[in-house]
Amino acid sequence: MTARPLLVLQHAPWEGPALVARALAARAPGVELVTRSVLDHAAPDLPAPADLAGLVVLGGPMGADDDARHPGLAAERSLLARAVDADLPVLGVCLGMQLLARALGAAVHAGHGTEIGFAPVEVLADDPVLRPLGPAPTVLHWHSDAAELPSGATLLARSTVTPVQAFRAGSALGLQFHLELDAPDLEAWLASPAAGELAPGGASELRAAAAEVFPAVVPGALSGLAAFADAVRDRA
């Protein structure tokens, strides 16, 4: 019997699954990772949760409610809601977390507060993906929108600017920050249109900060993402 795949919904060419793919390859080598972009399709042919081992929804520069320009977002939110109902392992990152929150009935506030760069978050509750990072990990932020906490979800992390940095809703984990990146992936971002959001000298500052932060945070991120990969493997 063929294992069910892990579906990754990607919104920008430079924002790929990165460490998620590495964790999956190490912990669930028999599970195929399938990456798709459905942003501009009004009625994309997405699989049912029953046909998946897991779902990852990545970040991107658009807003979670930007259906007028990107009609596929509505289908993504619908799939996210059905995936949570089906107890499918789900990981939403940055925009993906905001789409997850919207799928679960929470609001997303555009332009709530910009966070770009490395800064700590305060971990408030235990979760297997965040546990290896410790109580106040320094992580990469790249966003200005912020989601509210969905009803019934557990708040896992916060920062001064962003009250909801991570939450757990059943089988689904939302991360506003970018736990999935390492140095090569960051370089891809800095060579992309996303770098236009940086102040002069910002790219050099990010590289220098990454050289200090990534040696400590990447092993913890891989360890935490292994817990997600294990859940995917068990579902496959």
CA distances from 131 to 16, 136, 173 (A): 23, 11, 13
pLDDT in tens, 59-93: 999 999 999 999 999 999 999 999 999 999 999 99
Residues annotated catalytic, as ranges: 94, 178, 180
pLDDT in tens, 140-163: 999 999 999 999 999 999 999 999
Pick the CATH number of 6-235 from 3.40.50.2300, 3.40.50.300, 3.80.10.10, 3.40.50.880: 3.40.50.880
Q: Which single residue is written with the structure tokens 């993402």?
A: 225
β-pairing, 6-9 with 33-36? parallel
pTM above 0.75, yes or no: yes
